A and B are shown apart, each in its own frame.
Chain A
């Protein structure tokens, strides 16, 4: 038998199909391509929204028209033609009165392929699922259990109708319509997403989870998530993403807003595994996301993300530490392979006194990819005794990839304590040989080394996610040692 060399590994990786690259045939109702005020109105109308919501969207659209796409990120791509996208697509099989049993069997089959069969989820995991396929939420479970605690967990379209006072009060308060180009676009055309409200003093008894998928070819997906944790409450929210493979670039511009009122705590975990494009860098999802949370007094927000997919990632989950003694955390693993480009990081804006933030970022680059960490720690004049600790580690595989860090620190208060640590390392042949000698094949050895490198962040994920995340790391990096 001949030796299994790195070259063999590379070939295997290159020929390996994207695991979740199947496409489900669903009858869809899709809007004509293009974007103008009529389309915005039509989306709003289609969803049966009240006038204030339509106006809010239009305001965002008008702002967006005046804006230009940002170019400061360390990513290079052909800009999407926003007039060549259809802004609304809903699976036809959906009827709000239907139960799970009535759901399109093809849809259910698709969940099975993804390993997220709702029935299974119901039985096995203590996880309530609000599954979003394309733009309309088709299944919501555990609603009853949550309802007993007064927790509201539903699609944002439903929430606009059923809890307009809450949505109206908080929507756009953390990420305003005009915040940035993509946020403005999202505000104008968002299709669906999740809404969650945890009442005062309530500890959400289960991990809340939403699976997002982009299914229909050529349909941009514009998710909107709004999560409000009222005083003294706690919630852990999981978001996992996979998308079928497509040749055209698919645009994804989501907005997530988190609001943690006094003494509340929100943990928000993401595993992102959208189609990264093929080995020549063709196709793949453009992931331009705005995620931001605000902390009132003694509140805490933790972002944990494992980013392995998408051709382009532009994403900076941030925390505004407005209240005194509030805490922000950002734990991130970003993996890029082949021609993927990621520009990701966080902003920690310290406004209140005794505010604390922690940033741990692990970037892993392989193939010809470029992986950038971009972070801002800002201590405002009133933020006495603010503290920040940042750690940015990069792991390189091979000689054709890049790791970059752009850490910005702005301190306007002399009592601030800011620490920043950074390392860059390379997976060594000697490490791989050592593992090989112990009987561990090269692919497994890489996975082991990468998991070790990422451990600090993986440990922050809820158990069921940590396992999936580890698997994702392995899939994303298979055969990429050079």
Chain B
């Protein structure tokens, strides 16, 4: 589904990604771990099409289609979703209104009719229950005054609403207490199918107890330096990132 080949990217003069290779197939969950500053969030932003970064080499494709020339919204229309590490506030725009706009713009881009209001309400009800979201929450301004946990839960709620092909969860566990973590992870697991794929970006192993990855990759200094099964996450937890650093610098 997602294929990244020899991806190099920089911001200004600084090269952040230095040749990433990654293959994600439908039905798989991949975890990308690594110390701060390794380039994890950069990778997520670049897949989503953030124009602050310049791709200097390599390619990203989704189901064989080159993404590099597509605008962020076009990538979204093709099923790329990014759960942001720091979701932004949009004052005066309710969660419901935002979701309705997002869904209808996506449908429009894919040549579909707008979603009828009654259907929209039904989906909103279903998905908010899935994530145990109080419906009053949905009429609040997007992310304005939300707690860290509420913001993350809202991100996964949006993922549930948009049903993406490829979901990238960037540090979704940060800011979540243990109960919220369980709810969010549970939501993600229910959304998982053999048609979609999930890339979990995390610093800690904790989230991976709930969202169990098929593959774990360690990103260090702009490169994937180690890949393995879920046991790699445990190994990292035990030995810490210094282990990787020492291996790399040795």
Is the pair B88, A441 in contact by a Cβ cutoff of 8 Å? no
Does the CB pair A3–B84 fall under 8 Å?
no
Q: What are the residues of chain B within 8 A of A434 when measuring CB–CB?
A: 84, 87-88, 90
Interface: A2 (CB within 8 A): yes
**B70→A3 contact, CB < 8 A:** yes
Whether the pair B93, A449 counts as a contact (CB closer than 8 A) is yes
Residues on the A chain within 8 Å of B48, using CB: 437
Q: How many residues of B sit at the interface, in one of the four size bands? A: 20 to 34
B105 on interface, CB distance cutoff 8 Å: yes
| CB contact under 8 A between A454 and B92, given known A436-B49, A440-B73 | yes
Which residues of chain B in 85-136 are interfacial with respect to chain A, using CB atoms and an 8 Å cutoff? 87-88, 90-93, 97-98, 101-103, 105-106, 109
Pairwise interchain contact A438-B102, C-beta atoms closer than 8 A: yes
- The listed residue (B69, B97, B162) touching A438 by CB distance below 8 A is B162
The complex places the Cα of A1 from the Cα of B77 at a distance, in Å, of 14
Contacts of A438 in B (CB 8 A): 76, 98, 102, 158, 162
Q: Do the beta carbons of B71 and A4 come within 8 Å of each other?
A: yes
A-B contact count (CB 8 A): 80
Q: Check A164 for interface membership: any CB of B closer than 8 A.
A: no
Cβ-defined contact, A453 with B73, below 8 A:
no
A388 to B74, CA, bound (A): 48
Q: Decide if A455 touches B88 in the complex (CB within 8 Å).
A: no
* Contact status A436-B76, CB under 8 Å: yes
Q: What per-residue 1/0 map shows which CB atoms of B71-84 lie under 8 Å from chain A?
A: 11110110001101
Whether A439 and B162, one on each chain, are in contact in the complex, defined by CB atoms closer than 8 angstroms, is yes
- Specify which chain B residues have a CB less than 8 angstroms from the CB of A36 in the assembled complex: none
Tell me the A435-456 residues at the B interface (CB within 8 Å).
435-442, 444, 448-449, 451-456
What CA separation (Å) do A440 and B162 show in the bound complex? Answer: 12
CB distance from B89 to the nearest CB of A (A): 8
Query: B186 interface residue, CB < 8 Å from A?
Result: no
**B10 near A: Cβ within 8 Å?**
no
> Is A430 an interface position by the 8 A CB rule?
yes
Contact A439 B87 (CB under 8 A): no
Q: Is the CB of B93 within 8 A of A3?
A: no
The reply on B141 being an interface residue by CB < 8 A is yes
CB distance from A400 to the nearest CB of B (A): 21
Q: Find out whether the CB atom of A436 lies under 8 angstroms from the CB atom of B71.
A: yes
- The CA of A397 and the CA of B88, in the complex, are separated in Å by 17
List residues of B (26-66) whose CB comes within 8 Å of A's CBs: 48-52
Say which residue of B72, B98, B102 sits within 8 Å of A433 (CB atoms). Answer: B72
Q: Is A99 an interface residue (CB 8 A)?
A: no
**A3 to B91, Cβ gap below 8 A?**
no
List residues of chain B with CB within 8 A of the CB of A448.
90, 93, 97-98, 101
Q: Is A24 an interface residue (CB 8 A)?
A: no
Q: Are the C-beta atoms of A428 and B88 separated by less than 8 Å?
A: yes
Within 8 A of A (CB), among B189-220: none
CB nearest to A459 among chain B residues:
B92
B102, A1: Cβ atoms under 8 Å? no
Give the complex CA separation of A431 and B142 in angstroms.
11
* Shortest beta-carbon distance from B104 to chain A in Å: 9
B93 is contacted by which of A4, A439, A452 (Cβ under 8 Å)? A452
- Which of B69, B98, B106 is the one whose CB lies under 8 Å from A1? B69
Given A437-B48, A438-B158, decide whether A444 and B101 contact each other with a Cβ distance below 8 A: yes
The A403-451 residues at the B interface (CB cut-off 8 A) are 428-431, 433-442, 444, 448-449, 451
Question: Which of chain A's residues have a CB closer than 8 A to the CB of B76?
Answer: 436-439
Contact of B92 with A2 in the complex, beta carbons under 8 Å: no
How many Å lie between the Cα of A428 and that of B52 in the bound state? 13
B92 A452 Cβ-Cβ under 8 A: yes
B74 cross-chain contacts in A, Cβ below 8 A = 1
Whole-angstrom distance between the Cβ of B138 and the nearest chain A Cβ: 15
Residues of B within 8 A of A2 (CB): 69
Check A444/B88 contact, CB under 8 A, given A3-B69, A451-B93: no
A439 to B98 alpha-carbon distance, docked (Å): 11
Provide the bound-state CA to CA distance between A454 and B82, in Å: 28
The answer to whether B93 touches A436 (Cβ under 8 A) is no
Are B105 and A440 neighbours in the complex by a CB distance under 8 Å? yes
The answer to whether B158 touches A439, judged by C-beta atoms less than 8 angstroms apart, is no
Query: Considering only CB atoms, which chain A residue lies closest to B141 in the complex?
Result: A452
Residue in B51, B77, B92, B158 whose Cβ sees the most chain A Cβ within 10 Å: B92
Also in contact, A439 and B69, with CB within 8 A (given A448-B93, A453-B92)? no
**CB<8 Å pairs between A and B, sample of 11:** A1-B74, A3-B71, A434-B84, A434-B90, A437-B48, A438-B102, A439-B162, A448-B101, A451-B93, A452-B141, A455-B92
